[in-house]
Structures are given as C-alpha cells and as structure tokens.
A and B are shown apart, each in its own frame.
Chain A
C-alpha cells in the first residue's frame, strides 16, 4: 500500500507528513508526529478526548482521515498557549480545578475554544450542550462548566 503525501499547517507551522489511506488524523498526530497531547479514549468518535480544530471546526481526530487534510489548518492542544502564556481557558481550568486525571482536558479545551469563538457569551445550558460530545468521568462536569463560563466572561472583558 502506498502512502499519501499531505501538507498541512499545524499550530501555525507548516507540517508535511505521509500516511496510508486508512490512517486517521489521530494516528498521524500521535504515532507519526509524536504530538501526544491529543488523546485517544475510544477511537470511535464517542468520547471527544481527541478533539482538535480543523479549519475552524472542532472535530474528533479519530474520525478524520489524514489523507483528507492536504492544505488544512489544524489546531491542537500543543498550540493553545501563546509562548509561555496560557490561554484564558487553560488558566481558568487551573483556577477552577476543572480537571482531575486530565486525560479528557485537551479535548474539552479545544471544544470550549471552538464554542467561545462562535458564541462568546454562552449560557450554562449552551456550554453543557456544546461539551456534550466530550466525556469526563472524574469531575461530574460542574467545575468544567464553571471554568468555561468564567473564561468566556474574562475573554469578553479583554476584547471589549
């Protein structure tokens, strides 16, 4: 089986990779590019741990094929902070203790980031539905939802 050559932008950098036709973005990131911040919880699009942002849309990296991504702009957890400065969502997750084991955290952060880009002032219910594709077994979601709402408020303040 021959491999496809794919050119993408990942977290602002041009990244070339080759992959088999059946290889998912998740496999490419984790196995070939050694970007293990994107987590593998199920491989079937049910847990959201591998949520990344492709061309502005949050997707499960396990449901996207690497070969479809020529020219795509991909954002992963490794690119969320700016230099040494954490993103407000990352800050608020720490302030609100919105993680315990942390395996679901990169996926939640990406999903929340995508939500706030579309809807800077979500209600609690909107946050809960936006995050409904991401499983967390530790926290019961309470502190995650609070962290996202607080980050949204802070981000609105800093842009107004």
Chain B
C-alpha cells in the first residue's frame, strides 16, 4: 500500500504525478552506458596489486619482471603519485586530506589494510595485466594490526599513524593515537537532568561495518593526451568532485581535466571518492593511451566503502510523566585506515528528534586496519539512532507509555534545534508521528513468535553548490543540463520541475547530465540534495528563459514587457488584439529577433532542512533456528513535496531494505591475520527478493518553505531508523534485549538458548 498525505495545494500539472522516467527505455533495453560499458581506441587494461596484509611496512617494491612482460606498457607505484602535506586544523565536518588520499589510492610507507593498493599495471589485455601484477615483488615487514575500534582507542594498541595525536581533547596528548579526534555537543546540565529522572535506562551496542553494496563495481577510463589534457569517464556520484580531487592530487590544472559521469549503477555514498582515477591518469600519462580500470567484486569489498562499525554506550533518563530529562551517549566509529568517519553526524543523530533539556553526545573517530570508510546513506546516523531509539522504547516499556506517545511528548517542534545547534524551520515530525499512530499497521494483531518494532529517524539535509544550463531550442523543446549524476531518478524530477515552471508537456523537456567542461561546479549527488538544490537551479534557469520569452513577446507586440505574462506555456497579455504566443512560436522567432535563448543558474542552496522517517516493522523469529522473517514493513516519511512520488517511494523502500540487511545479515568477517574473509555477495549477504515483504509507504507532505515546490531531501532518512526498527522488532519477538548487529540466526539462537 502506498499513499500520499498532503497538507498543501495540489493543483499542479506535473508535480506529484506518476510519470515515466526519461532514462527508462535505455535502462530496460541494455542501451544505457555504465562505467564499464565504454571502450576506446587503443585502450589498455589496468589492474591493481593489493596488499595481502592488514598492516605492514613496505620495504621494497620490484616491478622489473612485470615491466619485462610482453604487453605490459606501464607500471606505477606510490612513487608516481605526488605526496602532499598533512591537513592542518581546524578540521571541518568533512575531511578530504590529500596526504591520506594519496596514500589510500597507493600505499606509500605502509600498507594499512588487507586490499590496500600497492602497485598497478597497464597492459594490452586484461589477461596480461592480471599476469603482470603477480610478477611484482613486494617485500613487507608485517606489523601488529587492530580491527576493533574500542581496542584501537586503548593505549598500547598498534598505531597506524605515528604522526596522529588525538585532536579535541585537553590536555594535548603526548603519545600518538589511533583516535584522530573526539567530537561532542551538549546542552543543559546532565548531572541535574539525571538527578531529576525517575527512570534511567542504560544500554550498549556494537555493530559491524557494512558495505554500500552498489551492484556496479567502480569502473573508469582515463585518457591523457600529449598536451597535458586528461579526460576521464567514470562511475561517480560527483564528476566535479573527481575533477577537483584528481587535479589537486596530481598537481594538475583543474581546467586540464574533463570528467564525464557514466550512468551510475548505485552509489549510496560509496562513489563520492577517488580510488583508481589518479592511478589511471598516471598510467595513461606514461603510455599516451586510454587506460580502463574496473574493480572486481572482491576488490570492491577489500578496497572501497564501507560504513563504520561502531561501539556505543547510552544512558537516558525520564520522569514518570514521560518527560525525557537527560540523555548521554558516546560512539566509537571505525574510520578504517585513515581518519574521517562521520563523527559530527553521529553526535547530531542520537537525540535531535527530541527536545531534551540536558543532553550530551560524543563521537570518537578511530583508525583501524580496515578499508577507509566512505559515506553510506545518512552517514553516521543509523547506529547512533538505533542506540537512542531502542533506549527510548525501553523507557516507554518501563514507564508503561505507548512508544509513539512518548515520542510525541518529547518531539522537537518547529523552531527547535538539533543537538549540533542546527535550527529547524517548519518540520513535519508531529505529522509523521500522528500518521504512525493512526496507521492500521501500528495496532494490527501479532501472531506467536512475532514482534513489532518501531523507530524514528532524523536527518538534516544538505543543500550546496549546483549548476544548471537550460537551452531553449528553436523547435520549442528545452534541453536541461545538470552537473549531477542521476542515481535514483533525478532526471525525472528535473524534467517535472522544468515542465511545471514552463507550463508545457513533459516530453518537450530533455534532461541530461553534462560533463565538467560544460558548466559550473556541481557538488555530489549525495546528502539527499539533488532534487532540492539542483532542482532549485533548474527552476531558476527556466525562470530566466521565461523572462526572456516575455521580453521577446513584448518586442514582437511592441508593448511594455510588464504587460506580458507567462501562463500555461504561452506569453499572454491583457491588452486587446494580441493572440497568445506559444513556447514553440516564440522559440522559432528567437534566433531571428536577437539570438538563442538560454537560462543558467549557479547557486549555493541553503535551507534544505530536516526530515523525519518513522518505521513500523513486524518480524517472526523461528525459535528452533533463530531465523528472522520479515512479515510487514511500513515507512512513513515527510518528503516536503514528492515531485515524483514513484521515486520517493522507491527511496523509502530501498532505504528500508538496506536497513534490514544491516540489522540482520550484513557484516565484514576478518580472520585473525586481519584479512577479509567474505569477499563476495554469497557470504556478504544482502537482502534478496524472497527475504522481504512489500514495503508499504506513506509520504507525508509538509512542504519545505525554502523550496519553490516544498521539496525536502528524501534519500537518506529512510535508512536512518531502519536497523533500529528491525532490531526492536526482534527484541520484542524474543523478549530479550539485543545489543549487537547483525542479528544473524546464530546470535539469536545463542541468546535464546542461554535463556532456555
């Protein structure tokens, strides 16, 4: 069941309608070209040699035998990637340290995880490239390794970076540490808050890293020409970001690199970074030939992603009437081999759905011998949220208050703020909670061995830099070029917004994703920002076209432009004796009356604001095997305004199912040498169709006042509460508290047997 509950005007021509996506036919026929679907004349095949050790000093690398192999055209190591100084404080919320990135794309002094890139070759065939990397001789001195974030944070743990001293603690530490920084936020007086509490619940949680799990592995082609220009074709969430990182890493002019984004086969945050791009540039520069580099699935697992594994502790106190008076939490995020786990977001995620007078949250960014974490759909939020939501559910149980009522009582209101201090404008939290309370799923009966879970998730959306160029063609069609790769249907939303503004048929609008040479900077398709921010740039661009068309009509009619209006796709005037001029007619006149008409917009969009997703889930636990089956799942979320409801629902459903995988099955499994054991989808078990039921959705629409159509972000909120909601359902089914993800059958069976 999918429904839309809206509170505002709905007399749109296209917004909110279910329309086919413009990129659809190419994707159902196999015509769409993804990262690995491109070939170029004279292309070489690149392959990467990866570390077999979790932590080791590189003593020497001998590439001579590989270089001598017939068909090998170039070999690169860290010597071919420029070094960069360490980033100095103050550190922003996002850390892109070229010192680290240069070492992550190619290990320099040490290898820091199993799968760390050590060298790469380019050869005339994939077969020869594979043979060549086996001929590269690397001498290692194996070092002790550490995988667990708590263990890595202790004194005496093997140290990954001798230069790293914990930032954000007083006094400044004297010994290097794997903890890069400690970030916290607080308000009120915790001690007093807990003193006022009638009931206090304390819990702790652990979780394993999970991979973004995009089905398309990283793939690219880099072509360097003799004059220094470089072209890159790659699967990415942000080709402008790839251009910037490659230019800075390789000490090149930004204008000499042109990046084209292929169709992207899923990203979820995992394709925000560079991996093989700089290496392929170097291989191509050495050979003057295009170099293709495609990761295998095991390389994707060993070398990219994942989201942080975590350890967290939490304590919350409430008065008997249900007022939550104190809340304190800390979380250790695995950063992987280099600093930069989403600590700020973790801090902000614990308690920001609630108005709690006394609260504090702390997050530790901890380096361990695992691949460097990448963003994963609402980075930092799901595990912090799970800790808080399960604790609140336990408070509700002990206070004998309905979990939704307890949240209603403490819910943050319009004008409130997140723990990090971000101010809320108009938010839809109350509407979301009311929808949960009145949803038939919330009060439906349960069968034996079944349990119902509930969790609420909050996410503060990003806006940021977006650029758009809109060209009116002389037949009256409009080409809309954005700089944002389309992952989940953004071309559809862009087309809808442009057609709505112009008041014309959808088919007249042709959206494309343009390369970095064509237009202004556009930040990543990430942070649920594209429909909001890039959409706003589309609207601005189209409005510029409309202004020019009004002026053109005024010129044609020889009347003042103020007397010309734009209505339903045509220029009209109240003056007598003038027949409306259609978009098509005006487009045909434009080139003869002054020149082609285009609009463009380059913005830094603010005001995306917060959105909330609430999820109800029923599971059944088999007491004999510990197997959890999903029985019913409902996602209720404030989308502000659903431009394309089909794709909003798709985000809600997809996010929920990723959360199911996180809660029940997905985990990285390492051996005692620190080598990853589950390198494929058989053992890294993501949900399949038979694992899940239909995912019911309710789109709540409380329009965002900061967007012309009321858009909020949609992509990230649905994952935020999902693991917590599923874990809560399992707890309620078996009547035991479960603090460690994934809740795989052996773990559940172990808990059940302990109790028997």
A74 interface contact, C-beta 8 A: no
Chain A CB within 10 Å — which of B264, B682, B690, B691 has the most? B690
> Bound complex: CA of A87 vs CA of B30, how far in Å?
13
The one of B18, B487, B646, B657 in contact with A101, judged by C-beta atoms closer than 8 angstroms, is B487
Q: Are B28 and A135 in contact (CB under 8 A)?
A: no
> Bound complex: CA of A40 vs CA of B653, how far in Å?
24
Q: Are B681 and A46 in contact (CB under 8 A)?
A: yes
Q: Are A132 and B690 in contact (CB under 8 A)?
A: yes
B297 interface contact, C-beta 8 A: yes
B263 interface contact, C-beta 8 A: yes
Q: Which of B240-274 contact A (CB under 8 A)?
A: 263-268
Q: Which residues of A contact B297 (CB under 8 A)?
A: 41-44, 46-47
How many residues on the A side are at the interface (Cβ–Cβ under 8 A)?
59
B680 interface contact, C-beta 8 A: yes
Q: Which of A42-94 contact B (CB under 8 A)?
A: 42-44, 46-47, 49, 76-78, 80-81, 86, 90, 93-94
Q: B32-63 vs A: 1/0 string, CB under 8 Å?
A: 11101101000000000000000000000000
Q: Which residues of B contact A99 (CB under 8 A)?
A: 24, 27-28
B709 interface contact, C-beta 8 A: no
Stretch binding the partner chain, chosen from B209-217, B331-339, B515-523, B588-596: B209-217
> Bound complex: CA of A74 vs CA of B692, how far in Å?
31
Q: Are B650 and A41 in contact (CB under 8 A)?
A: no
B689 interface contact, C-beta 8 A: yes
B478 shortest CB reach to chain A, Å = 22
Interface size class of B (residues with CB under 8 A): 35 or more
A153 interface contact, C-beta 8 A: no
Q: Are B21 and A46 in contact (CB under 8 A)?
A: no
Q: Are B30 and A44 in contact (CB under 8 A)?
A: no
Q: Knowing A39-B265, A44-B682 touch, does A135 contact B695 (C-beta < 8 A)?
A: no
Q: B10-32 vs A: 1/0 string, CB under 8 Å?
A: 00000000101101110111111
A66 shortest CB reach to chain B, Å = 14
> Bound complex: CA of A65 vs CA of B212, how far in Å?
30
Q: Are A94 and B25 in contact (CB under 8 A)?
A: yes
B710 shortest CB reach to chain A, Å = 21
Q: Which of A103-160 contact B (CB under 8 A)?
A: 103-106, 109, 124-125, 127-129, 131-146
Q: Which residue of A lies closest to B211 (CB)?
A: A137
> Bound complex: CA of A152 vs CA of B623, how far in Å?
37
Q: Which residue of B lies closest to A94 (CB)?
A: B24
A36 interface contact, C-beta 8 A: yes
Q: Which residues of A contact B294 (CB under 8 A)?
A: 40
B691 shortest CB reach to chain A, Å = 8
> Bound complex: CA of A144 vs CA of B650, how far in Å?
10
Q: Which residue of B lies closest to A124 (CB)?
A: B694
> Bound complex: CA of A140 vs CA of B39, how far in Å?
32
Q: Which of B568-627 contact A (CB under 8 A)?
A: none
Q: Are B39 and A34 in contact (CB under 8 A)?
A: yes
B297 shortest CB reach to chain A, Å = 4
Q: Which residue of A lies closest to B29 (CB)?
A: A81
Q: Are A77 and B681 in contact (CB under 8 A)?
A: no
A41 shortest CB reach to chain B, Å = 4
Q: Which of B290-342 contact A (CB under 8 A)?
A: 294, 296-297
Q: Are B28 and A39 in contact (CB under 8 A)?
A: no
Q: A12-43 vs B: 1/0 string, CB under 8 Å?
A: 00000000100000000011001111111111
> Bound complex: CA of A132 vs CA of B28, how far in Å?
19
B354 interface contact, C-beta 8 A: no
B124 shortest CB reach to chain A, Å = 13
Q: Which residue of A lies closest to B659 (CB)?
A: A140
The one of B28, B268, B681, B682 in contact with A109, judged by C-beta atoms closer than 8 angstroms, is B28
Q: Are B650 and A95 in contact (CB under 8 A)?
A: no
The one of A31, A37, A104, A145 in contact with B694, judged by C-beta atoms closer than 8 angstroms, is A145
Q: Which residues of B contact A46 (CB under 8 A)?
A: 297, 680-682
Q: Which residue of A lies closest to B296 (CB)?
A: A43
Q: Are A40 and B27 in contact (CB under 8 A)?
A: no
B656 interface contact, C-beta 8 A: yes
Q: Are B264 and A143 in contact (CB under 8 A)?
A: no
Q: Which residues of A contact B34 (CB under 8 A)?
A: 36, 39, 103
Q: Are A141 and B657 in contact (CB under 8 A)?
A: yes
B654 interface contact, C-beta 8 A: yes
> Bound complex: CA of A46 vs CA of B686, how far in Å?
10
Q: Which residues of B contact A35 (CB under 8 A)?
A: 30
Q: Are B30 and A133 in contact (CB under 8 A)?
A: no
Q: Which residue of A lies closest to B35 (CB)?
A: A103
Q: Knowing A94-B21, A101-B266, A101-B487 touch, does A140 contact B695 (C-beta < 8 A)?
A: yes
Q: Which of B671-714 contact A (CB under 8 A)?
A: 680-682, 686-692, 694-695
> Bound complex: CA of A124 vs CA of B680, how far in Å?
28
Q: Are B215 and A133 in contact (CB under 8 A)?
A: no
Q: Which residues of B contact A131 (CB under 8 A)?
A: 688-690
> Bound complex: CA of A40 vs CA of B18, how far in Å?
31
B119 shortest CB reach to chain A, Å = 22
Q: Which residues of A contact B647 (CB under 8 A)?
A: 97, 100
Q: Are B681 and A136 in contact (CB under 8 A)?
A: no
B482 interface contact, C-beta 8 A: no
B745 interface contact, C-beta 8 A: no
Q: Which of B621-666 contact A (CB under 8 A)?
A: 646-647, 649-650, 653-658
Q: Are A41 and B30 in contact (CB under 8 A)?
A: no
Q: Are B216 and A128 in contact (CB under 8 A)?
A: no
> Bound complex: CA of A131 vs CA of B31, how far in Å?
22
The one of A93, A103, A124, A125 in contact with B266, judged by C-beta atoms closer than 8 angstroms, is A103
Q: Knowing A37-B29, A129-B690 touch, does A97 contact B215 (C-beta < 8 A)?
A: no
A-B contact pairs, 21 of them (CB 8 A): A30-B36, A36-B33, A40-B294, A44-B297, A77-B30, A80-B28, A86-B25, A86-B28, A95-B20, A97-B489, A100-B654, A101-B214, A103-B263, A129-B690, A135-B215, A137-B214, A138-B266, A138-B654, A139-B650, A141-B692, A143-B646
A-binding residues in B (CB < 8 A): 18, 20-21, 23-25, 27-34, 36-37, 39, 126-127, 212-217, 263-268, 294, 296-297, 487-489, 646-647, 649-650, 653-658, 680-682, 686-692, 694-695
Could you list 16 further interchain pairs (A-B, Cβ under 8 angstroms) beyond the known A97-B489, A140-B655, A141-B692? A30-B37, A34-B39, A35-B30, A36-B33, A44-B682, A100-B266, A129-B689, A135-B213, A135-B215, A135-B681, A137-B212, A137-B214, A137-B654, A140-B653, A142-B694, A142-B695
3 closest pairs, A vs B, by CB?
A37-B30, A103-B265, A102-B27
